[in-house]
Structure 1
Amino acid sequence: MKPHYSIPIAECGEPLVPIPLEQFAWVSPHPYMALGATYGDRSPFFVRQTVLKRLRKAQYYLQKQRSGWRLQIFDVYRPLSVQQFMVDYTFQAVAAKAGLETTIMTEAKRQEVLEQVYEFWAAPLVDPATPPPHSTGAAIDLTLVNEIGKPVEMGSVIDELSSRSYPNYFANNVGMDDQRYHSHRELLCQSMEAAGFLRHPKEWWHFSYGDQLWAWLYRQANSDGLAEPAIAHYGQVEETARSI
């Protein structure tokens, strides 16, 4: 169980709203839908209302630093069914890369593969006390595009299951390319943090506001006890409710 799941949730009831994609860059076709994931009556580009306001603020900050640059939205809202689909897909991909046949895999080997998957993917738990971050509508995977709409080089692709995904992987490297990757990651982080988001400790592309992971990270950053302990404002979104 990941430590942020110990954070209590006080669901505020704020609705999911569609991201006005004309205001941002976005990945098309959506990567998970292209693999066969189905979202029902919501698209993956829905987010909590306050989170959208903060996303606009983050892009405003970015454009003050780099004129014409934009945030590129990769993925936001995921129903539990999509979270399960992607965990299963990633499990199969990791097993195949290792030359393992999933139908005859030992339990020990299965757990070994799952550990690799769950380092980066949240388990699709049905317990409302432990929702995957993206299933709350409060977490966003994103990157940057420059003034001509070209994706900015970050040193690894989103969802890469390797240590290169760690935010500070390139921080102490002296190569010019590596320093550029780190600089771009820091610009993304600074833009998002300026709007109140916090970054996932192991994923340079994952930011959230108001979910359990955000509250846990906030507490870690304010462990001196001077700030009031944060709680999560957003829990699991009801998948049967319509978003429009």
Structure 2
Amino acid sequence: MKPYQQIPIVECGEPLVAIPLELFAVESPHPYEKLGAPYGDRSPYYLRQSVLANLITAQNYLQQQHPNWRIQIFDAYRPVEVQQFMVEYSFAQIIATQKLNLSEISESDRQQIWQQVYQFWAPPSLDPATPPPHSTGAAIDLTLVDEGGNTINMGSAIDEISPISYPDYFANSTNAIEQQYHAHRQLLSNVMQTSGFQRHPNEWWHFSCGDQMWAWLSNQANPINTVIARYGREGARG
């Protein structure tokens, strides 16, 4: 169990609503649908109503500093079935990248690979008490684009399973280009956190508002005024 999964959830019942994609830049085609992830008749471009309102606020803050820049949405709502697909896909990618033969690796090596996967991916739990953040409709993966629609370079790709994806990986670099990567990550973080979001400790691109991870991070930042999660897994309510 991840630490944030111990946070209680009191579901508020707020609906999932469609993201008005015309307001944002969008990764198209959707990266997980392109891989064959099983969304069925559900769309990834949904968020809880208040989370979407905060995202729009974040883009307004961004444009106060950089007119005509936009938030680019990579992923938002994610059914547990898609979480399962992507966890298995990521495991297979590590196997392929390292040129390993799955039938020949030891159980210990297999578990080490799973540990790498779960540093970045939440377990695809169906337990209502431990939902994957994206399955609540309260988490979103994103980056920024400039006025020409060019993706801002953050120094690593979204979903890269590597320490380079840690938000502060470039914080102490003396290389000018890497300093710029850090500045871009900080810009994204600042506009999102100013709008009520919290950033995943291991992922510069992942932000949430109202789920267990958000509550856990909020309580770490302000232990005197503790909060609980208000969004559970969408579709898990009785």
When normalised by structure 2's length, the TM-score is: 0.97
2:234 aligned partner: 237
CA offsets 1:40-94 (integer angstroms, 9 cap, x no match): 2221111100000000000000000101100000000110100000000000111
TM-superposed deviation, 1:239: 7.3
- What SS class does the counterpart of residue 103 from structure 2 fall into? helix
1:93 aligned partner: 93
Q: 1:49 and 1:62, CA in 2 relative to 1: closer, same or farther beyond 3 A?
A: same
Asked if structure 2 preserves the Cα contact closer than 8 Å seen for 1:79 and 1:239, the reply is no
Matched, 1:189 2:189: yes
Q: Indicate the larger mover: 200-209 or 96-105.
A: 96-105
1:20 aligned partner: 20
Q: 1:198 and 1:240, CA in 2 relative to 1: closer, same or farther beyond 3 A?
A: closer
2:126 aligned partner: 126
- How many residues matched? 238
Runs of 4+ in 1 over 6 A off after TM superposition: none
Q: Indicate the larger mover: 28-37 or 100-109.
A: 100-109
2:135 aligned partner: 135
Percent of pairs identical after alignment? 59
Q: Aligned runs of 1:70-109 on 2, under 5 Å?
A: 70-109=70-109
Matched, 1:151 2:151: yes
Distance 1:104 1:14 in 2: 48
TM-superposed deviation, 1:104: 4.0
The letter of the residue matching 2:32 is Y
- What SS class does the counterpart of residue 151 from structure 2 fall into? coil
Distance 1:106 1:163 in 2: 24
Distance 1:101 1:13 in 2: 46
Distance 1:175 1:106 in 2: 40
TM-superposed deviation, 1:236: 0.5
Distance 1:187 1:160 in 2: 20
1:163 aligned partner: 163
Distance 2:107 2:137 in 1: 33
Distance 2:34 2:86 in 1: 12
TM-superposed deviation, 1:126: 1.3
- What SS class does the counterpart of residue 72 from structure 2 fall into? strand
Distance 1:114 1:50 in 2: 34
Q: 1:129 and 1:239, CA in 2 relative to 1: closer, same or farther beyond 3 A?
A: closer
- What SS class does the counterpart of residue 232 from structure 2 fall into? coil
TM-superposed deviation, 1:101: 1.9
Q: Aligned Cα RMSD in Å?
A: 1.4
The letter of the residue matching 2:14 is E
CA offsets 1:75-129 (integer angstroms, 9 cap, x no match): 0011010000000000011112222222343322211110010010111011110
Distance 2:173 2:215 in 1: 31
Asked if structure 2 preserves the Cα contact closer than 8 Å seen for 1:199 and 1:206, the reply is yes
Asked if structure 1 preserves the Cα contact closer than 8 Å seen for 2:128 and 2:236, the reply is no
